[in-house]
Amino acid sequence: MVLRQGGIPGGIEQKSLPSKFLDSWKTIDRGWNSYKSFIMDIVIPPDSSMLQQEQQPSLRASFS
């Protein structure tokens, strides 16, 4: 979004993308969102056993 709109990420001023490149930016953004969805849904699917473990309270006792 900083590339498109401009801003100051990490203390470095970035000008907004010139309007002649907005169509290219939209194409790249759609591809990125598709890739991100693929990774989250297919490559790294939520593991239900891990979710169940996280929801259960820890039974470990701490001894000091």
Cβ contacts of 62 within 8 Å, gap of 6 or more:
none
Output DSSP code: residue 43.
Answer: I
Q: 61 lies in a domain? A: no
Q: What span, in angstroms and rounded, lies between the C-alpha atoms of 10 and 59? A: 42
Q: List, for the chain, all residue ranges whose pLDDT scores fall below the cut of 50.
A: 48, 59, 61-64
Is residue 29 assigned to a domain?
yes
Q: What is the DSSP letter of 60?
A: P
Token digits for 20? 């002649």
**SS3 of residue 14 by DSSP:** strand
Predicted pLDDT at 47:
67
| Residue 12 phi, psi dihedral angles, 5° rounding | -110, 120
> What confidence score (pLDDT) does residue 44 get?
78
The pLDDT score that the predictor gives to residue 42 is 82
* pLDDT of amino acid 3: 78
In a domain, residue 33? The reply is yes
pLDDT at 24: 94
User: Is residue 36, in this structure, part of any structural domain at all?
Assistant: yes
pTM of the model: 0.53
pLDDT at 22: 93
